[in-house]
Structure 1
């Protein structure tokens, strides 16, 4: 049994090396590249003749809206705008601007050499190809037909794109500091009492919402032995296996931008302990009087406030209700991430490093699209659908966190008793 598994793993490694290093062009790709060269010559001649008239901007498919529709075979662009409404025209322009912005990010990046792939595409088409794979639940074969490229090249181009985008994580997903942090703060609650300032007791401001989600992936080779199990037992073991998931920990702003992102194996989740230690060792990361909020399962501290558990009285119920409202900010951000990048519904990738790179790429692009005005409008009926996840156990609690949570809940209850709602 062990011998067959090792042989299968070795075979996959050999195939992967061949896919990366030996990719001769097919006859179809040679013909396509010849056609592209002729088109480039003709286009250059036309541009010289029409130098005074700028070319019309390319219009891209609706890949950035969560409901992309594939273009006709062999052409990843929309044929035209005939019959489109003004709002559709504006959205198409915004989509084009986002693709252009991503292309500029890659051009300005010093993370490495040019993108991989024997059959070279223009940078904008490379971005479009990669967004197609991220945004749609389509196969490599389907994209191969659409772009008229070998499936092996599609695979290589896509992962090269993800590797380059993921190197921008620290640039695009960054913890706010100074004025940026001050601008990111929002009220813990709109409830106020007149004598709060006199007593020196004020509600904290919130910097962000901490939470997580799970991304299902294919189990890596050698991580499971299902040959001796029946179908029912196999399904149970696969569902319960901790490494069937990637654990994505996030902190998001009020607008839904990610301020922190940590991707780990399902069996390597620390439920915010690493972030808690980081904030404790670097107090300058949190503006004075600010905090993060999180659901049950995360450690309660002076910097991270979590709900009360067990039997709750009036003040605990008020505190938990307000905290739940904040946590829905993260829910909407995660819903938008998965709606925009449908490939995250299941990553058919049995390699943790590659799967992690794809998830980081989606998180980076989530922030990029928000910065370029590409906010995704979710169906209100879909916002309440949560992915089933394991039941959370109570997180650790330190004394400073307990005292601060009690002080905040006391203030909230006093506000309500004062008739302010």
Structure 2
């Protein structure tokens, strides 16, 4: 009996491997391919009847090389004097597809992407970016790329796994010279007297915060939610109907740290706090992270004052808030570029997490390429879900008070 189980297990493993490495065209894809061939034949015959003159060379090239499925060809107008905004966007899209394709080719994990063997790597990247950047269904993408719906599903998640493998390469905590370049002043105020005394305002390595990504509940939990009144479903959403995305963002908008957890797992930056305490070398001398209320206050992480505040504390809070807006803009850009993050229709936590990590990796790729996208800042989503005050240690309290004193001295002394 045990031997039979081993044989069955080995047979299933072989079948899975064959499915990943060799996936023939399905009947649906064959029908799509046949329809496409018929349409092209009819189109060419119609053009031959209507136009006695041979078509321009550019049109012949477009017939031979089908246009990008995500950007269908449009009727050509009079030649413009310069590139239009749409042409510039298409050029930027082509550059992004080529850059991401080269990243995948140069990665150490060279396992072939799942899906149909005839689909090129560039079209795989384009298909996956379309699913990430647009609120479209698998069915509509299936028609656009003329692929079977189930095949698109395999291609997309295989792409996400490959991009996720580049996480350590693209989302890196800066060290050495890279960390020195990432530092930014906490405030533009210069305190000469304090510097003469050997004190200085710390520089900021990054901003710590989080946002939430709505996801579809698993089937069992959906059934439980459906029986509740509509008001309670809205006011008391199930904690697992979203993902917590914890981020550390640099002044350039790049993510230096990324952690995805279930909605019920409210960490509040504690793991990162412990990591920084155990590895002091991660923070350059005289540097810090800044965060909003709700995160732990330590010597490495500065948070605002809560409760009754005076002018000095208010000045300190405003200074930190200016840095936190950098994270707001980065999160807005992430969700504006990858609109699928507005709601992930995925009931599997691991797959939803993979898609979110893929978007974060690609965000850094686009920032590195200089293709930044401005989106609406969503401050409320970046604030920690738990409105309670974060933990405070004595060293963090002393450092925050010292920095607040320096800032207040700068204002009173009239320095700029």
* TM-score normalized by the length of structure 2: 0.82
Q: Distance in 1 between matches of 2:206 and 2:67?
A: 34
* Greater alpha carbon shift after TM alignment, 217-226 vs 314-323: 217-226
Change (3 A) 1:274 1:30: same
Structure 2: state its 5+ residue gaps.
1-15, 41-56
- 1:288 maps to which residue? 285
- 2:49 maps to which residue? none
Q: Distance in 2 between matches of 1:323 and 1:30?
A: 59
Residue-by-residue CA offset, 1:242-264 (whole Å, 9 max, x unaligned): 11110000001001000000001
Q: Shift in Å at residue 221 of structure 1?
A: 2.9
- 2:185 maps to which residue? 187
Within-5 A mapping of 1:47-126: 75-79=69-73, 85-86=82-83, 88=85, 89-118=87-116, 120-126=118-124
Equivalent pair of 2:328/2:382 in contact (CA under 8 Å) = no
- 1:259 maps to which residue? 256
Q: Distance in 2 between matches of 1:395 and 1:116?
A: 45
- 2:29 maps to which residue? 29
SS at match of 2:179: helix
Equivalent pair of 2:23/2:117 in contact (CA under 8 Å) = no
Q: Distance in 2 between matches of 1:316 and 1:59?
A: 62
Q: Shift in Å at residue 194 of structure 1?
A: 1.9
Change (3 A) 1:385 1:179: closer
Within-5 A mapping of 1:337-356: 337-356=334-353
Q: Does 1:330 align with 2:324?
A: no
SS at match of 2:213: strand
Change (3 A) 1:228 1:185: closer
Change (3 A) 1:235 1:227: closer
- 1:138 maps to which residue? 136
Residue-by-residue CA offset, 1:280-327 (whole Å, 9 max, x unaligned): 011110000000000011000000000000000111000000101100
Residue-by-residue CA offset, 1:345-394 (whole Å, 9 max, x unaligned): 0001010100000000000000001111111134xxx3367449745211
- 2:295 maps to which residue? 298
- 1:157 maps to which residue? 155
- 1:4 maps to which residue? none
- 2:373 maps to which residue? 376
Q: 1:395 aligns with which of 390, 395, 402?
A: 390
Within-5 A mapping of 1:159-174: 159-174=157-172
Q: Shift in Å at residue 23 of structure 1?
A: 7.0
- 2:270 maps to which residue? 273
Q: Distance in 2 between matches of 1:359 and 1:134?
A: 10
Q: Which has the larger radius of gyration?
A: 2
- 2:203 maps to which residue? 205
Residue-by-residue CA offset, 1:150-192 (whole Å, 9 max, x unaligned): 1101111111100110111011000000000000000000011
Equivalent pair of 2:240/2:264 in contact (CA under 8 Å) = yes
Equivalent pair of 1:136/1:342 in contact (CA under 8 Å) = yes
- 1:69 maps to which residue? none
Q: Shift in Å at residue 111 of structure 1?
A: 2.2
Q: Shift in Å at residue 131 of structure 1?
A: 0.4
Residue-by-residue CA offset, 1:39-62 (whole Å, 9 max, x unaligned): 9xxxxxxxxxx9xxx99xx9987x
Equivalent pair of 1:297/1:394 in contact (CA under 8 Å) = yes
Q: Distance in 2 between matches of 1:268 and 1:231?
A: 25
Q: Shift in Å at residue 26 of structure 1?
A: 3.4
SS at match of 1:226: helix
Structure 1: state its 5+ residue gaps.
1-16, 40-49, 62-74
RMSD: 2.8
- 2:145 maps to which residue? 147
Q: Distance in 1 between matches of 2:313 and 2:150?
A: 57
Q: 1:176 aligns with which of 174, 177, 183?
A: 174
* TM-score normalized by the length of structure 1: 0.81
SS at match of 1:209: strand
Equivalent pair of 2:210/2:382 in contact (CA under 8 Å) = no
Equivalent pair of 1:188/1:206 in contact (CA under 8 Å) = yes
Residue-by-residue CA offset, 1:189-214 (whole Å, 9 max, x unaligned): 00112212210111000000000000
* Greater alpha carbon shift after TM alignment, 273-282 vs 368-377: 368-377
Q: Distance in 2 between matches of 1:269 and 1:60?
A: 46
Q: Does 1:315 align with 2:312?
A: yes
